[in-house]
Structures are given as C-alpha cells and as structure tokens.
Structure 1
Amino acid sequence: MNNTNYNMAVCGTSGAGKTGLIQPLIRSVLDSGGFAVVFDMGDGYKSLCENMGGVYLDGETLRF
C-alpha cells in the first residue's frame, strides 16, 4: 500500500518556537508540490500564506 497522506500536529506554549519550526517545513512541502492546512490562534502564518499565494481565512470572521 502506498501511503501518501501525512498528518502533523504541533503543540506548545506561547513563545516556544512552534511557528519558527514549522514555517520552513511548510515552505518545503509547498515548494515540492504539496499542500498545507494550518489552524493557528494568531496570525503567525498570514504572511507565509500570502507570500506563497495561499488563501488566508480569519477565524474571527467565519460564521457557521
């Protein structure tokens, strides 16, 4: 079986370095043709999303 579905979760306290660790990994995935979905309580990934041509959704404006 060829498994090409990879998942990852990163947890840590505020200021622990999660964003700094993960942003280069996301850029590498995107540069190799993959995709990423990021849920973040702040806007630490907003500039990466814009720079890579992604779609940024602000959770504060989402309505269900």
Structure 2
Amino acid sequence: MKNVGGTDRAVRIIIGIALLSLFFVLPDYWKLSGLIALPLLITGLSQRCGINKLLGRNTCRIR
C-alpha cells in the first residue's frame, strides 16, 4: 500500500538527490554522509515508507 505521495514524494527525491551528490563531492570517510540519501530516494521512488506506516500517516491521496 502506498503511503507517500505528492509533495512529500517530491521533497524526498529532491533532498535525496542533493544528499547523494555529497557522496561524490566530500573526501574520504565523509562520503558516508552522502549515503543518508538512499532511504529518502528509495521511499520517494517506491512511495512506501515504513515509518509512516508505523505512525499511521498517509500522504498519498490515491488508495
């Protein structure tokens, strides 16, 4: 069941791409901070978020 939609999805993808770019810009072990982007991108693209499900939130209008 999808629970990420609209603005929430767009924000997750945009922030995910911005953070992923840090992986290519930052030196040495700081590159790991760019990997924070992966959960944002995965939840934005799949439109499913486990934390939203646990909290009972649903930002997707289509059910």
The verdict on a shared fold, with TM-score over 0.5 as the criterion, is: no
Structure with greater contact order relative to length (CA < 8 Å, sep ≥ 6): 2
TM-score (norm 1): 0.32
Task: From the two aligned structures, give the one with the greater helix fraction.
Answer: 2
TM-score by length of 2: 0.32
